[in-house]
């Protein structure tokens, strides 16, 4: 037997639900996080998602994971968190595990649906490297690069791509486990550019990392070239010294007069010339200068002329001696 008034109440409820259906829905169910993405570089694993925005109250998030081996979902250290990221970096010896993550938003007892990620295997999906170059040694025909391993993995290998800067013909080294690798058979005094990348071996697969930024370095000069430089430097130095010597010589010649002045006692002008100089038109000054110039000339010539004079003098006396001797011999003969 239907109760009176039940039908209108039902009607009212239907009307209410028609009037405000979104509000009722949002209380029962939160929107799920969007753009749920895994970022992994060098085995540092991060799950990130876009925040769920509500008018009131702060939404919390919970992340769970499960591995390929065990199908149960397990809590991580990301339960009831307010941040929109979860660091799920795990120990090295689990990096080959296949892992799936899921995240949901929570507001009190109201929860969103779980959003699941794709399967993730750190060994295969993490971005390896690139290694950081810490040193470049150059020889005339090679460059030796030293770099840091980007992660602590014993299956790491490295490869270098390189080219002469002026051309673009690229070469690649072999994969090597050594953190010091040589680019060989290069030209001397030439700029080479290179990029480096690392990879890890994962069972039968390999995870090859991206190339590093481009570094450039110049090869050294060969011994022959260096010897050439030394010769050139030596010649330049010698020429410089000679030029300097000549300049010094000319300098001392030019200022000979000045030098001489400093080494001579002060020159006193005799009284009668002083009076003469007081005369407004003084031809004496010119005369004095001429005298000085002549004196200089005489100075430099005097030694030579003295020597020649003495030689002719000696020769003259010798001749007279010989003459007188021969004359005396002749007189003895007669
Ligand atoms: C999700 O990512 C897309 C593309 O990157 C962007 O347009 C969108 O706004 C993001 N959604 C949220 C809720 O941030
Ligand atoms: C958000 O607002 C609704 C209605 O206004 C209220 O019932 C609910 O308790 C609020 N939630 C929080 C976390 O404050
Ligand atoms: C959670 O954090 C604690 C300490 O911060 C750490 O000992 C534990 O290993 C972490 N658990 C997981 C699953 O990361
Ligand atoms: C997370 O929040 C829920 C509800 O608020 C609570 O029942 C649970 O114990 C919390 N878990 C942790 C690990 O804090
Ligand atoms: C994630 O956790 C690892 C290990 O605990 C730590 O080394 C790393 O810095 C963390 N990364 C971020 C982005 O917090
Ligand atoms: C690797 O796994 C072994 C056992 O499975 C464990 O004893 C060891 O602590 C793990 N290594 C790390 C770095 O977690």
- Mean pLDDT across 94-102: 90
pLDDT at 176 over 80: yes
Query: What is the C-alpha R_g of the chain?
Result: 52
Tokens of 252: 């001392």
In the chain, the percentage of residues whose pLDDT exceeds 90 is 51
Q: Mean pLDDT, to the nearest integer, of 41-65?
A: 92
Q: What is the pLDDT of residues 15-45, one digit of tens each?
A: 444 444 444 444 568 999 999 999 999 999 9
Ligand 5 pocket, residue 87 CB under 6 Å: yes
Residue 207, Cβ neighbours under 10 Å: how many? 19
The string over 281-318, giving b where at least 16 C-beta atoms fall within 10 Å of a residue's C-beta and e elsewhere, is eeeeeeeeeeeeeeeeeeeeeeeeeeeeeeeeeeeeee
Atom 10, ligand 4: residue with shortest CA distance: 80
Residue 60, pLDDT above cutoff 70: yes
Identify the pLDDT of residue 323. Answer: 47
What is the per-residue burial (b if ≥16 Cβ within 10 Å, else e) of 9-42? eeeeeeeeeeeeeeeeeeeeebebbeebebebeb
CA of 80 to the centre of ligand 1 (A): 23
Average pLDDT, the chain: 79
Instruction: Say yes or no to pLDDT of 313 above 60.
Output: no
Domain ranges of the chain: 22-125, 132-221, 224-263, 271-319
| pLDDT tens profile 241-277 | 999 999 988 988 887 777 666 666 556 666 776 676 6
Task: Compute the distance from residue 91 Cα to the ligand 6 centre, in Å.
Answer: 7
Whole-number Å distance between alpha carbons of 36 and 114: 11
From the alpha carbon of 34, which atom of ligand 1 is closest? 13
Give residue 249's pLDDT: 87
| Ligand 3 center to 77 CA (angstroms) | 6
Does residue 155 register a pLDDT over 80?
yes
Say if ligand 3 is within 6 A of residue 174 CB.
Answer: no
Domains 22-125 and 132-221 share a fold: yes
CATH for 132-221, options being 2.60.40.10, 3.30.70.2740, 3.40.50.720, 2.40.50.140: 2.60.40.10
Q: Give the per-residue pLDDT at 319.
A: 46
What are 324's two structure tokens? 């007188």
How does 235-259 read in b/e, with b if 16+ C-beta sit within 10 Å? eeeeeeeeeeeeeeeeeeeeeeeee
Task: Please give the average per-residue pLDDT across 47-72, as a whole number.
Answer: 90
**Residue 198 in contact with residue 175, Cβ under 8 Å?**
no
* CA dist., res. 323 & res. 334, Å (int): 16
Q: Which residue has the higher pLDDT, 186 or 299?
A: 186
What pLDDT shows up at residue 273?
A: 66
Ligand 4 close to Cβ of residue 77 (< 6 A): no
Q: CB of 79 closer than 6 A to ligand 4?
A: yes
How much is the average pLDDT of 129-143? 96
Distance from residue 80's CA to the centre of ligand 4 (Å):
6
Q: What is the pLDDT of residue 269?
A: 66
Query: How many angstroms separate the alpha carbon of residue 92 from the centre of ligand 1?
Result: 32
pLDDT at 48 over 90: yes
**Overall fold of domain 22-125:** Immunoglobulin-like (2.60.40)
Average pLDDT of 53-72? 88
Is residue 76 in contact with ligand 3, taking CB distance under 6 Å?
A: yes
- Kindly state the tokens that stand for 224: 């022959």
Query: What confidence score (pLDDT) does residue 227 get?
Result: 87
């Amino acid at each position: 037997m239907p109760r009176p008034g039940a039908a209108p109440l039902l009607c009212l409820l239907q009307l209410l639900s028609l009037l405000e259906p979104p509000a009722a829905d949002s209380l029962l169910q939160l929107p799920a996080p969007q753009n749920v993405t895994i970022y992994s570089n060098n085995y540092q694993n991060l799950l990130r998602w876009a925040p769920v925005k509500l008018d009131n109250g702060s939404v919390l998030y919970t992340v769970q994971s499960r591995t390929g081996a065990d199908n149960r979902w397990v809590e991580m250290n990301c339960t009831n968190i307010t941040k929109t990221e979860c660091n799920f970096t795990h120990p090295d010896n689990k990096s080959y595990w296949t892992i799936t993550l899921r995240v949901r938003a929570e507001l009190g007892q109201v929860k969103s649906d779980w959003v699941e990620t794709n399967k993730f295997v750190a060994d295969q999906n993490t971005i390896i490297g690139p290694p950081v170059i810490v040193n470049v040694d150059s020889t005339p025909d090679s460059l030796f690069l030293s770099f840091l391993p980007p992660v602590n993995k014993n299956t790491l290998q490295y490869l270098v791509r390189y080219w002469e800067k002026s051309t673009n013909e690229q070469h690649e080294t072999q994969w090597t486990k050594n953190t010091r690798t040589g680019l060989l058979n290069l030209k001397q005094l030439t700029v080479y550019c290179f990029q480096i990348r690392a990879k890890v071996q994962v069972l039968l697969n390999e995870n090859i990392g991206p190339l590093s930024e481009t570094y450039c370095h110049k090869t050294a000069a060969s011994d022959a070239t260096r010897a050439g430089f030394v010769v050139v430097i030596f010649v330049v130095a010698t020429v410089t010294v000679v030029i300097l010597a000549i300049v010094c010589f000319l300098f001392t010649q030019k200022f000979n007069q000045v030098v001489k002045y400093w080494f001579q006692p002060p020159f006193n002008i005799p009284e009668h010339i002083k009076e003469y100089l007081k005369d407004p038109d003084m031809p004496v000054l010119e005369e004095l200068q001429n005298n000085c110039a002549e004196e200089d000339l005489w100075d430099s010539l005097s030694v030579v002329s003295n020597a020649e004079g003495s030689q002719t003098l000696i020769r003259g006396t010798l001749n007279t001696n010989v003459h007188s001797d021969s004359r005396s011999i002749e007189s003895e003969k007669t």
